Amino acid sequence: MKTSLLISTYNWPEALELVLLSANNQTEQPDEILIADDGSSEVTKNLIENFQTRLPDGQEKLIVPIHHFWHEDKGFRKAIILNKAIAAAKGDYIIQVDGDCIMHKDFVRDHKALAQPNVYLFGSRVNIQEEFLPKLFASQKIKFNFFDKGIKKRTRNLRIPALSSLYKTTHEVSDKMRGCNVSFWKKDVIAVNGYNEEFEGWGREDSELIIRMMHNGVLGRRLRYRGIVYHIWHKVKDQSRFETNDKLQQKAIGEKSKWCEKGIDKYL
């Protein structure tokens, strides 16, 4: 099984740098890293180019291949750039995280270990608090233990593989599903035509995709006590499109949609 680690980002290179450092620190590496960039400036491009050749401290050690997918900034169009990245993925299995979520060293390992046919996985996140951000970026901290200052929801920071086995597959869409910590088979995404590009602005693009996948027979399984990420605090994004996006999701639910018209097929 080949895996692609998919990271979405927009104009926060300081956070993306920590995410990429945590990618390099994985106990099991993915086969490639895909960065879906929703229109960031040259600063992000330069950061990614540096990671493509060497680590920030000048070490010669290379991490796995990084592929940067970018389009012009015309507002929140995350669904489009995610589709373009997924279409180009060489991996059979996609592990998706946001560019503001630092990964536990076993994050990729956990998603790979629990991958099974016809199932997507969804995990939760530990929250890094606002007041800790100056120290976080100054120290480039990417490792957290249970008692560390600056985090909340710290029980989510417990990695206990034996307990994670208690969580079984489900036919129900969980309200705990977050696009910042999810994994799925590429073929299952393509089967429903990927992300719905009618979604613009923040909200519901990830859950609507999962709803269509589940209508198409894919089951969900929660990752608890494994697959941990640490979400870096940021101001709430513009939610002015949320009501419109929520209506698109409700339509998918009501019609039991398995397909979207504006999707990934144009890039395949």
CA atoms of 79 and 198, how far apart (whole Å): 8
Pairing between β-strand 119-123 and β-strand 125-128 as defined by DSSP bridges: unpaired
CA atoms within 13 A on the CB side of 84: 15
| Segment 209-266, tens digit of pLDDT | 999 999 999 999 999 999 999 999 998 777 888 899 999 999 999 999 999 999 999 9
Rounded mean pLDDT, 85-104: 98
Give the pLDDT confidence score for residue 203 in this predicted structure: 84
| Segment 187-201, tens digit of pLDDT | 999 999 999 999 998
Give the pLDDT confidence score for residue 5 in this predicted structure: 98
Q: Which residue has the higher pLDDT, 132 or 203?
A: 132
Query: Is the pLDDT at 107 greater than 80, yes or no?
Result: yes
Confidence of residue 122 (pLDDT cuts 50, 70, 90): very high
Q: Which two tokens stand for residue 146?
A: 């249970």
| Segment 146-193, tens digit of pLDDT | 989 899 889 999 999 999 989 999 998 887 787 899 999 999 999 999
Give one DSSP letter per residue of 181-208, joined into a string: EEEEEHHHHHTTTSS-TT--SSSSHHHH
Q: Indicate the pTM of the whole model.
A: 0.95
Confidence of residue 124 (pLDDT cuts 50, 70, 90): confident
For residues 10 and 39, is the Cβ–Cβ distance under 8 A?
A: yes
Give the pLDDT confidence score for residue 132 in this predicted structure: 96
Give the pLDDT confidence score for residue 24 in this predicted structure: 92
CA atoms of 239 and 25, how far apart (whole Å): 34
**Mean per-residue pLDDT of the chain:** 93
Query: Is the pLDDT at 61 greater than 70, yes or no?
Result: no
Phi (first) and psi of residue 208, to 5 degrees: -65, -40
Give the pLDDT confidence score for residue 62 in this predicted structure: 59
Domains of the chain by start residue, with CATH: 3-267 (3.90.550.10)
Give the pLDDT confidence score for residue 241 in this predicted structure: 86
Query: Is the pLDDT at 96 greater than 70, yes or no?
Result: yes
- Reference 181, options 101, 117, 268; nearest CA is 101
